[in-house]
Structure 1
Amino acid sequence: MNDFDTSNSNHFKYTTDVLEFHILGGLTTFGLDRMRVTLKVNRIEDKFHAYRNNIDLYNANSVEKFVRKLAEFLEIGTSNIRRALQELISELENYRLELLDQVENEEAEEYLLSKKERRSAADFLKSKNLLEKTNKLIGQSGVIGEDGNRLLMYLIFTSRKMDNPLNCVSFGSSGSGKTHLQSKVAELIPEEERLSLTSLSANSFYYFKRTELKYKLILIEDLDGADDVLYPLRELQTKKKITKSVVQKGIGGQGKTKNLTVEGPISVAGCTTQESIYEDNSNRSFLIHIDESEVQDEKIMTYQRKLSAGKIDIEEELKAEELLRNAQRLLKPIKIINPFAEYLVLPKAVFKPRRTNAHYLQFIEVITFYHQLQREKQYDLHTGEEYIETTIEDIKYANEILKPILLCKSDNLNGATRSYLEKLKMYLENKGDTVFTNREIRTAFRIAESTLRRYQLLLLQEGYIKRRKDVQGDSFVYEIVDVNEFKELENSINSALNFCIEKIGSKTSISKKSN
């Protein structure tokens, strides 16, 4: 009787009456459409006279060629070798499918909080001014500056535990610290609930375990080099599931189809220098523009100097990280109901309001979710389902945090061009002038000519600046059309958000009086 020995995961043995097959290096479960192995074959009575070869056992031509060479080398009939190989392939297929089933049924090991850790995390989540304390702890963990962006990113990462997670894309020039910000905030999420990707093909996504990515945070360090994975990522974000069919081929060309399914939902975060390229993905995400101001530069460099001088308390940073991670572990999925949702209307200036409106309402739910230990649990009278309700304070917090995001979504300019224009306005105000030349700005801002030309062209096309002939020479000078346009846009957004809060307040007062 033939014997198939898999006791050594790196050295399988398959023995027939005449032959002994050694599968060196074991068998991978990655890629069910192929079965590439390293084979060593010898006669039972002659272990030293062996034939070795790398082969894909699902490639019929390669297998047939292998059979003929092996028959010649060992001086055995091809029919005996063919039958033995078919039996070996069948054994390997069964073993691999059993291994896959076993792996899929394995649940991720859950981190068990000690009583002390659980109590500290619960006390923190129940404390007053939770968001302010959270932002302070994020800073204590080593995230320098970026006060608004870091809290926004942390809350987006928190949404991974919800049925409709949020996503974010960080924009900034090379060396601006976008990847550093993302990775530092991600360290505040439990390690078992996040996955960092540096290099991945589109097909690779389909070979994760069925629920391996479910409710996980997926981090992509550089979207510029991840074009292939953007489509499956969008599908996981939108449809919360991706499926691919693969064919497992046998030696005779026969095969069967197996569906590879990976389930979401997932929360995705990525970084890029190219804002305009990722429109499809950015529509599904919050756009975070990294602070590239001189003030932020100084904060980072001051921290670097103190770290080099040994004046940073690393132990305190680690304690802050651990407390925030444990707080995340305490948060449990629960239904959120926003009784004020009908009164929340986005400012008219916001572009693509349908998707932005969904993001806005979901972000309010995230804040409610984060405050779950402070909210009274309620139960649906018809279904008995447990839920908590959004408060007016949650909406106020969301409005404050999202103002820069809504402002960007209402602006005709991209983030980099807007930053340039606002810097230009400040420069001219300090100078006490209204006109400027390209040469002057290139020298003052130390900006590349190609970059300046791109900014100027967009500003001219959109009507934010105008060009006119210099009366003192033959060159051209430029002038800003409306210095206050951005402040007016900001004021209109603030007014719209405040109006919603006032409307909710008045409705609530009327409701209380009627009761």
Structure 2
Amino acid sequence: MEKSNLNTTNPNHYIYETKHLKISILGGIRFNNLEALRVTLGIQKLKSEQVLRQNIDLYNDTSIEKLTRKVAERLEIGTTIVRRDLDQLTNELETYRLQEVEQQGKLYEKQVKVLTEKEVRAAQAFLKADNLINRTQELIGQSGVIGEETNRLLMYLIFTSRKTNNPLHCISLGSSGAGKTHLQSKVAELIPEEDKIEMTVLSANAFYYFNRTELQNKLILIEDLDGAESVLYPLRELQSKKKITKTLVHKDQKGVTKTIHLTVEGPVSVSGCTTQESIYEDNSNRSFLLYIDESELQDEKIMLYQRAISAGQINHEEEHQARELLKNAQRLLKVITVRNPFAMHLTLPQSVFKPRRTNAHYLQFIEAITFYKQYQKFHHIDKETGEEYIETSIEDIQEANELIKEVLLRKSDSLTGACRNHLENLKDYLKKQNQTQFTNSEIRRNLRVKETTLRRYNNQLLLENYIKKVQNKTTKSYAYEITNPDEYQDLKAMIDKALQDCMVQIQLANEPTTNHSKVARSKPTKSIS
């Protein structure tokens, strides 16, 4: 066999030489479509200026035959030589491409960290410690996440649910510059690199070209949902059905048209940020809505932290250690079934909108807390199925209720988050001023709200009957008045009472009896060495 040489020094101009021909591959080759090998060739005899240029798929045998005859005729060379050289070129390019694809895969592959014995012991001790949820809250704060105590813990537990069979999802909502993306990225730093995929902009078919199981139990982070509008539908399907399928028409090497199916499997946990709550309603229905704290107190916390960084008063090593401990704890969590023996006693407040989905979210969040505390649970074995599982405790439900109150409150509110925040600020202002009525100019001046924004808020509040127009009898001018200043507190009280009633029902109910016919044995969590 004649010695051949493929020179790929210039990525846009490969050179392939044999004893008889010099072949240039103009523009190189594509690495993202292994089903075809489409190239632009420049073919010439050695020491000849005459060049034949042709665009061709080297995997198309019919096209190769035509090109062979064309080259042989144009360059006055035998067809056997031309066909042999083209076959050798195809083999060389194919080998080179496979090597490059494999190399690129290694470069982009996120290596799974192997924990040392010391790291395993530290993570296990953390997961087995009492008050795990409170200790997690403290560590999140030590890792550099400032304020947002409820949101950050909710987000961390939602991210943890990626390892369960029914992951949760969240959307961070707030005005521009409020810190939505910052909170998401800081909490995401507490998740192992191999378990998350961060995205900024996605094309319409982006999700369909992942490997079949590449997204399984992964956390997908989208910086801004505005940059992912084209994939919102497949994203919703991936959240709901846990897999997506795309059907394509493809021609094989012989030119025969076939239908192929691209399937990508979940489940996945999805987190995104946006300022436009109403636009992404379909996605919001599948997610926990986390409203960013835009209070002056939170502003002061952040600015104080920024000053401390500038003054060199932040211990970055301590922050790093906190992050690593939480990431290592995540690595030790194993997939296991969670059963909630108290589920039949858990009911949602009647005020909650879309109760079917919200009820599922509520139960899944309780399961996420139980899953996170798996090192503190007995592992039961179902005798009939052989399935290993852990059970939810009353303490898990109490912790879930404390964290989810704000979520249920927002799910029960007919106003958007931004409009609700404005209304509560408005109530506080009127209370401080000891007045019941207000005008647009007064609110724009004192609460620093843009005219167009204020008009939008007023329209929604009037439509929902939260405010009403009143006329001054003396000046005949119009002002606004809040119809019920206590409505939000009443809604909070209703939700608190509903959750408390659930706990009372659980306490009054008989202790769940173990079904000895189904449960073979119980065992504590095994240590991971």
TM-score, normalising length: structure 1: 0.88
- The one-letter code of the counterpart of 1:196 is E
Which residue, 194, 211, 214 being the options, matches 2:213?
Answer: 211
Instruction: Give the Cα separation in 1 of the matches to 2:66 and 2:178.
Output: 56
2:495 alignment counterpart:
493
Aligned with residue 330 of structure 1, among 325, 329, 332? 332
Which range moves more in the overlay, 105-114 or 467-476? 105-114
Q: How many Å separate the matches in 2 of 1:25 and 1:190?
A: 39
Distance 1:79 1:174, change over 3 A: farther
Q: Does residue 112 of structure 2 align to residue 110 of structure 1?
A: yes
The 1:500/1:90 distance shift into structure 2, 3 A limit, reads same
AA aligned opposite 1:191: E
Q: Alignment partner of 1:377: what SS?
A: strand
Which structure 2 residue ranges, 5 or more long, are not aligned?
A: 515-529
Which of 195, 198, 219 is residue 196 of structure 1 equivalent to? 198
Tell me how far apart the structure 1 counterparts of residues 28 and 22 of structure 2 sit (CA, whole Å): 16
1:447 deviates by 0.8
Q: 1:424-451 deviations in whole A, cap 9, x for unaligned?
A: 0111011100000000000001110000
Counterparts of residues 83-162 of structure 1 (less than 5 Å):
109-162=111-164
Give the match's secondary structure for 2:509.
Answer: helix
2:509 equivalent to 1:507:
yes
Q: Does the 8 A contact of 2:341 with 2:512 survive in 1?
A: no
Partners in 1 of 2:491 and 2:363 — Cα distance? 22
What root-mean-square deviation, in Å, do the aligned CA atoms of Structure 1 and Structure 2 show? 3.7
1:30–1:207 contact (8 Å) kept in structure 2: no
Q: Is residue 225 from structure 1 mapped to residue 227 from structure 2 by the alignment?
A: yes
Q: Distance in 2 between matches of 1:236 and 1:510?
A: 35
Structure-2 residue corresponding to 1:346: 348
State whether residues 143 and 318 of structure 2, in contact with CA within 8 Å, keep that contact through their aligned partners in structure 1: yes
Map Cα deviations across residues 123-173 of structure 1 (whole Å, 9 max, x no partner).
001111111110111111111100000000000000011111111111111
What does residue 371 of structure 1 align with?
373
The 2-side partners of 1:19 and 1:340 are apart by 78
Deviates most, 51-60 or 338-347: 51-60
Map of 1:456 onto structure 2 = 458
Partner in structure 2 of residue 265 of structure 1: 267
Q: Deviations over 1:335-373 (max 9, x none)?
A: 101000011001100000001111110000000000000
- Conserved in 1, the CA contact under 8 Å of 2:202 and 2:227? no
Alignment correspondent of 1:409? 411
Tell me, in whole angstroms, the C-alpha distance in 2 between the residues paired with 1:317 and 1:372: 25
1:469 aligns with 2:474: no
Q: Counterpart in 1 of 2:520?
A: none
Alignment of 1:446 with 2:453, yes or no, is no
Moved more, 52-61 or 339-348: 52-61
Counterpart of 2:324, as a letter, is E
Verify the 8 A CA contact 2:249 2:258 in the aligned structure 1.
yes
| Offset from partner CA, 1:15-72 (integer Å, 9 cap, x none) | 77854545577644424676444545343x4488766777666899999998899779
- Compared CA separation, residues 487 and 123, structure 1 to 2 (3 A): same
Tell me how far apart the structure 2 counterparts of residues 244 and 103 of structure 1 sit (CA, whole Å): 25
Residue 173 of structure 1 pairs with residue 175 of structure 2: yes
Return 493-502 or 46-55, whichever deviates more: 46-55
- 1:286–1:405 Cα contact (<8 Å) kept: yes
Other-structure match for 1:291: 293
User: Residues of 2 paired with 1:218 and 1:93: CA distance?
Assistant: 33
Task: List per-residue Cα deviations over 1:396-415 (Å, max 9, x = no partner).
Answer: 01111000000000011010
Alpha-carbon spacing, 1:241–1:311, altered in 2? closer, same or farther (3 Å): same
CA contact (8 A) 1:201 1:228 kept: yes
Provide closer, same or farther for how the CA distance between residues 428 and 70 of structure 1 changes in structure 2, counting only shifts above 3 A: farther
How far the C-alpha of 1:4 sits from its partner, in A, is 9.5
**Which range is displaced more, 214-223 or 72-81?**
72-81
The CA distance in 2 between the partners of 1:83 and 1:348, in whole Å, is 77
Amino acid at match of 2:442: E
Describe the SS at the equivalent of 2:165: coil
Cα distance change, pair 474–171 in 1 and its aligned pair in 2 (3 A): same
Q: For residues 97-126 of structure 1, what are the alpha-carbon distances to aligned partners after superposition, in whole Å with 9 as ceiling and x for unaligned?
A: 999899999996432100010000000011
Q: Does structure 2 conserve the Cα–Cα contact (< 8 Å) formed by 1:42 and 1:51?
A: yes
Gaps (5+ residues) in structure 1?
none
Structure 2 counterpart of 1:399:
401
Structure 1 residue 246, shift from structure 2 partner: 3.6
* Residue 84 (structure 1) shift: 6.8
Displacement of 1:216:
0.5
Contact 1:375 1:388 in 2 (8 A): yes
Q: Quick one: distance in 2 between partners of 1:20 and 1:255? A: 34
**Contact 1:58–1:249 (CA<8 Å) still a contact in 2?**
no
Work out the CA distance in 2 between the residues paired with 1:14 and 1:231: 46
Q: 1:72 to 1:117 in 2, by over 3 A?
A: same
Change (3 A) 1:378 1:251: closer
Aligned residue for 1:281?
Answer: 283
Alignment partners' CA distance in 2, 1:379 and 1:366: 20
Q: Which residue of 1 aligns with 2:386?
A: 384
Give the direction of change, closer, same or farther, for the CA distance of 1:221–1:107 in structure 2 (3 Å limit): closer
Name the stretch that deviates more: 2-11 or 300-309. 2-11
Q: Distance in 2 between matches of 1:68 and 1:426?
A: 86
What is the TM-score with the length of structure 2 in the denominator? 0.86
- The answer for the alignment partner of 1:301 in structure 2 is 303
Q: What letter matches 1:217 in structure 2?
A: L
* 3-state SS, counterpart of residue 157 of structure 1: helix
User: Offset at 1:204?
Assistant: 2.0
Q: What's the CA shift for 1:231?
A: 1.4
Q: Deviations over 1:271-321 (max 9, x none)?
A: 001000011111111111111111111111111111111111111111110
Matched residue type, 1:158: T
Given that residues 156 and 166 in structure 1 are in contact (C-alpha distance below 8 angstroms), is that contact kept between their aligned partners in structure 2? Answer: yes
Judge conservation of contact 2:147–2:298 (CA < 8 Å) in 1: yes
Decide whether aligned partners of structure 1 residues 75 and 416 sit closer, same or farther in structure 2, where only a CA change above 3 A counts: farther
Give the counterpart letter for 2:506 in structure 1. Answer: I
Partner of 1:163: 165
Q: Does 1:431 align with 2:429?
A: no
SS of residue matched to 1:468: strand
Q: 1:466 to 1:61 in 2, by over 3 A?
A: farther
Give the residue type in structure 2 aligned to 1:237: Q
Identity of aligned residues (%): 58
